[in-house]
Amino acid sequence: MGGVDIRADRDLQTPAGLKRRIRCHFTGTVQGVGFRPFVYRLALAEGLAGFVLNRPDGVRAEVEGEVDALARFLKRVTGELPPLARIEHLARTELAPTGEEGFVIRTSTLGGSKSTLIPPDIATCEACERELFDPADRRYRYPFINCTNCGPRLTIIEDVPYDRGSTSMRAFPLCEACRCEYTDPFDRRFHAEPNACPVCGPSLTLLDATGEPLMTDDPLREAAALIREGYILAVKGLGGFHLCVDATKEMAVARLRRRKLREEKPLAIMVRNLDGAKALALIGEHEERLLTSPRRPIVLVRRREGAAVAPSVAPAMPDYGIMLPYTPLHHLLLAEGLEALVMTSANRSDEPICIDNHEAVSRLEGIADYFLVHNRAILVRCDDSIAACVGGAPRLLRRSRGHAPQPLGLPDDYPPVLALGAHLKACLCILRGRQAFFSPHVGDLETPLARDFLLENVALMQRISECIPETIACDLHPDYYTTRLAHTLASQGPEGGVNVVAVQHHHAHIAACLAENHISERVIGLAMDGTGYGSDGTVWGGEFLVADLGGFERAGHLLPFVLPGGELAVREPWRPAISLLKEALGEDWPVSAGRLEIVPEGVDSALVETLLARGINCPVTTSLGRLFDGVAAIVGRSRKMSFEGQAALGLEALARGAAAPLPWGILPGESLRLDWRPTIRALVEGRLKGRDPASLAAAFHATLIEAFTAVALEIRARTGIERAALSGGCFQNRRLLEGCLEAMTRAGLQVATHRQVPPGDGGIALGQAVVAAGRTRDRDAQTRRSR
């Protein structure tokens, strides 16, 4: 983020009355955000001549006029920006005056490139919200009101460049009144591509469970009434359908869970306004900014005791996921006497969000009682983004609606790369020059529909980034769908033209953190997560890497343990638990396992003992995620889980107050091994002595923080590296992230963490991309040398 380079007032000290001409080149977020009309209005207001136009590399303006007017223009152009615009750099060049008269917005057809950045979808702005509830306004209660500062963008786009003709608004010819607004540079709706009104724009329909329209004058009021009665409604939103119920009605929420086959995973809540959010949760300054930002993510916030929300919304979780309304439709629904709505992506488990009306009716059969739909097509699926404030900074945990496809700036120029991500929380990333484009969140690639969605995204992202990749990056895991897809896509490209680069999972996590933080030197990387394919073919997940973008060494890791039952261990924390007990306690482990009632009823413990003793279906792992699961079971929580990471979340939720760390050790060697066996022994002893599980959970976190810091310092002593990077899904755990940040910083390390890129597998594609780009560059350099 370079500073704005303006020396407006200083170097324009020529006598008044003399004309000058200046070329301004603006870069940053200056396209699709009403920047050109803003420049136009300013130029007219200051009586300047010239033009403004969009270019692939930013916005260019030439302004000519009196010196004082020019100075005022330059001051105002940076000082009075439209809400969504941001200037990163303004380059000025002095030109000879041409005597031109009048100021125009030129059409941009420069350089053959149709590249203008596609903006993300933006929440209803305050001006539109006011009009929405103003009985005198021609768009009073119109659910599709929008302007240059707000409304759908990515989700209605078919192709670039972004203009009405290439969006799903093409189906709605502008009426006279809307056209006037659209063509008037002084109007807030000048070139607002989705501009619409009740006369010419989209409209709502209410459907019953079979997709038959209901006869009603006011589908929205009718829908709100049905929600108040406890029905489940599928509501068409910006990037897809939500399933929506009254969040205060336990019966309704419980029924939604049963029908959606979603046992315990927390459900997001939408409240009417900030006060509504404050009534349910503790909202700090950062949370407030996240909640009210035009990107409107779901924000994870600490719930208030006794908040008026049905228990089933987020059972046994300390946080609620809360968002504020981001479409006019949401505002109108909540204004119908609804305090809080459960708003969860409309899908069955592991499937992508529904976007099409017919698709919704058929895929949500047996789940939704009614459908509130409209006739503006959603062309791009885009789930809600998720954010939280951790360690005093806002952080994105899922980067999707409101962010996609806005690129992230990179410090380096990269060759074109497509990175496909891993297997869970899939999200892909394209590098083009100094920019990294993330796709909308795809999710776990467990179902054919999810895989189709990934393919949709590959096509979409290539189209809107206008990038034809020379390199496709994927995970090192040979059996991931994304790995196979990488090879398929490469084989469809020009012969020998596209190469596939497989990047080790945890290296990719650290590389993502480095790229996001513009770090090119070697760091001590802590990659902590559930599962990743290791270079040695075992399951890694508690890794201390000495890494840069070019490569890594495994400087340390958790002491390995086995996972009895393999994949089953992800959902059944007693499995890692008995493995940890066996390692920590030796032959006597079944006694303690019995006293702590680790093995659930109905499981033949003798059989499990035999399998464990013989090592049948017992893959080896260093996964911190599985260590968390096992410890949760030992501490007495989470016998069975309905989603990955639930036990770890539960353990974090359980932890209360400060607690002293438990014993742990480092086993020496070329690669350090963090020995958690003393910790397990202490936990077992604590349990048997009747120590409070909340304090044991806190002590376990404190142990990890102390041990991670010690291992990092040992690596610093060996290598002299002063910088650490924290990545991997386990760093979504606030207590762990905040603790590590604090302890490592105190020990004198510079610690890099994620903010704009998710720490989990949702951010891994960026790391894959930059590592693969580096390798491609090296390879190309080598071929050039050998010629």
State the residues that interact with Fe ion by CB under 5 A.
Answer: 529, 532, 761
**150 contributes a contact to Zn ion by CB under 5 A:** yes
Would you say 147 or 426 has its CB closer to Zn ion? Answer: 147
Minimal distance, residue 730 CB to Fe ion, in Å: 9
- How would you label 529-543 residue by residue, b for 16+ Cβ within 10 Å and e otherwise? bbbbbbeeeebbbbb
Minimal distance, residue 512 CB to Fe ion, in Å: 10
Minimal distance, residue 122 CB to Zn ion, in Å: 8
Q: What are phi and psi of 356, to 5 degrees?
A: -95, 145
Q: CA angle, corner 582, sides to 578 and 586, nearest 5?
A: 155
* C-beta of residue 727 within 8 angstroms of C-beta of residue 759: yes
Among the residue ranges 167-175, 398-406, 408-416, 571-579, the one whose residues contact Zn ion (CB under 5 A): 167-175
The partner in contact with residue 650, picked from Fe ion, Zn ion, none with C-beta cut-offs of 5 to 8 angstroms by kind, is: none
Q: What is the DSSP letter of 249?
A: -
Would you say 201 or 240 has its CB closer to Zn ion? Answer: 201
The binder of Zn ion chosen from 49, 70, 81, 197 (CB under 5 A): 197
Would you say 199 or 455 has its CB closer to Zn ion? Answer: 199
Find the distance separating the first CA and the last CA of the chain, reported in whole Å.
39
* C-beta of residue 291 within 8 angstroms of C-beta of residue 351: no
DSSP per residue, 403-428: TTTPPEEEEEEEEEEEE---SSSB--
- Radius of gyration over every alpha carbon of the chain, rounded to an integer in angstroms: 28
Would you say 352 or 532 has its CB closer to Fe ion? Answer: 532
The binder of Zn ion chosen from 30, 43, 85, 178 (CB under 5 A): 178
* C-beta of residue 715 within 8 angstroms of C-beta of residue 672: yes
Helix axes 646-654, 624-635, angle to 10 degrees: 60
The partner in contact with residue 150, picked from Fe ion, Zn ion, none with C-beta cut-offs of 5 to 8 angstroms by kind, is: Zn ion
The partner in contact with residue 683, picked from Zn ion, Fe ion, none with C-beta cut-offs of 5 to 8 angstroms by kind, is: none
DSSP per residue, 318-377: SEEEEE---SHHHHHHHTTT--EEEEEESSSTTSPPP-SHHHHHHHTTTT-SEEEEESS-
Minimal distance, residue 223 CB to Fe ion, in Å: 40
Minimal distance, residue 421 CB to Fe ion, in Å: 10
Would you say 177 or 781 has its CB closer to Zn ion? Answer: 177
Minimal distance, residue 419 CB to Fe ion, in Å: 14
Would you say 180 or 781 has its CB closer to Zn ion? Answer: 180
* Of 320, 336, 354, 309, the residue nearest 229 (C-alpha): 336
Minimal distance, residue 126 CB to Zn ion, in Å: 8
The span from the CA of 333 to the CA of 331, in Å, is 6
Among the residue ranges 99-107, 199-207, 574-582, 774-782, the one whose residues contact Zn ion (CB under 5 A): 199-207
Would you say 178 or 712 has its CB closer to Zn ion? Answer: 178
The span from the CA of 296 to the CA of 384, in Å, is 8
Among the residue ranges 144-152, 304-312, 317-325, 720-728, the one whose residues contact Zn ion (CB under 5 A): 144-152
Minimal distance, residue 345 CB to Zn ion, in Å: 25
Number of residues near Zn ion (by CB under 5 A): 10
**175 contributes a contact to Zn ion by CB under 5 A:** yes
The partner in contact with residue 548, picked from Zn ion, Fe ion, none with C-beta cut-offs of 5 to 8 angstroms by kind, is: none
Torsion of CA 558, 559, 562, 563, to 10 degrees: -20
Q: What is the DSSP letter of 626?
A: H
Minimal distance, residue 486 CB to Fe ion, in Å: 17
Tokens 């995973």 correspond to: 265
Minimal distance, residue 189 CB to Zn ion, in Å: 8
Among the residue ranges 75-83, 132-140, 194-202, 463-471, the one whose residues contact Zn ion (CB under 5 A): 194-202
Taking CB atoms, the residue at the shortest distance from Fe ion is: 529
Kind plus residue range of the DSSP H or E element containing 750: strand 750-752
The partner in contact with residue 529, picked from Fe ion, Zn ion, none with C-beta cut-offs of 5 to 8 angstroms by kind, is: Fe ion
Longest dimension (CA), the chain: 97
Would you say 168 or 732 has its CB closer to Fe ion? Answer: 732
Minimal distance, residue 506 CB to Fe ion, in Å: 7
Q: Which residues between 101 and 130 bind Zn ion (CB under 5 A)? A: 125, 128
565 phi-psi bin (left φ>0, alpha ψ -120 to 50, beta other): left
Tokens of 385: 């983004």
CB atoms within 10 A of CB 637: 20
The partner in contact with residue 147, picked from Zn ion, Fe ion, none with C-beta cut-offs of 5 to 8 angstroms by kind, is: Zn ion
* C-beta of residue 635 within 8 angstroms of C-beta of residue 683: yes
Minimal distance, residue 41 CB to Zn ion, in Å: 17
The partner in contact with residue 125, picked from Zn ion, Fe ion, none with C-beta cut-offs of 5 to 8 angstroms by kind, is: Zn ion
Would you say 197 or 445 has its CB closer to Zn ion? Answer: 197
Tokens of 585: 């306690």
Kind plus residue range of the DSSP H or E element containing 58: strand 58-66
Would you say 86 or 451 has its CB closer to Zn ion? Answer: 86
Would you say 198 or 636 has its CB closer to Zn ion? Answer: 198
Among the residue ranges 174-182, 610-618, 632-640, 711-719, the one whose residues contact Zn ion (CB under 5 A): 174-182
Minimal distance, residue 540 CB to Fe ion, in Å: 9
The partner in contact with residue 110, picked from Zn ion, Fe ion, none with C-beta cut-offs of 5 to 8 angstroms by kind, is: none
Minimal distance, residue 124 CB to Zn ion, in Å: 6
* Of 42, 578, 766, the residue nearest 50 (C-alpha): 42
Would you say 532 or 693 has its CB closer to Fe ion? Answer: 532
The span from the CA of 471 to the CA of 496, in Å, is 11
Minimal distance, residue 334 CB to Zn ion, in Å: 18
The partner in contact with residue 761, picked from Zn ion, Fe ion, none with C-beta cut-offs of 5 to 8 angstroms by kind, is: Fe ion
Query: Amino acid identity, residue 347?
Result: N
The span from the CA of 67 to the CA of 251, in Å, is 69
Q: CA angle, corner 32, sides to 433 and 407, nearest 5?
A: 30
CB atoms within 10 A of CB 378: 22
Q: Which residues pair with 750 in a beta bridge?
A: 723
The partner in contact with residue 200, picked from Zn ion, Fe ion, none with C-beta cut-offs of 5 to 8 angstroms by kind, is: Zn ion
Would you say 144 or 481 has its CB closer to Zn ion? Answer: 144
Tokens 């419980």 correspond to: 254
Query: Amino acid identity, residue 336?
Result: E
Q: In the stretch 595-634, what mask flags binding to Zn ion with x, by CB under 5 A? A: ----------------------------------------
Name the site residues for Zn ion (rule: CB under 5 A).
125, 128, 147, 149-150, 175, 178, 197, 199-200
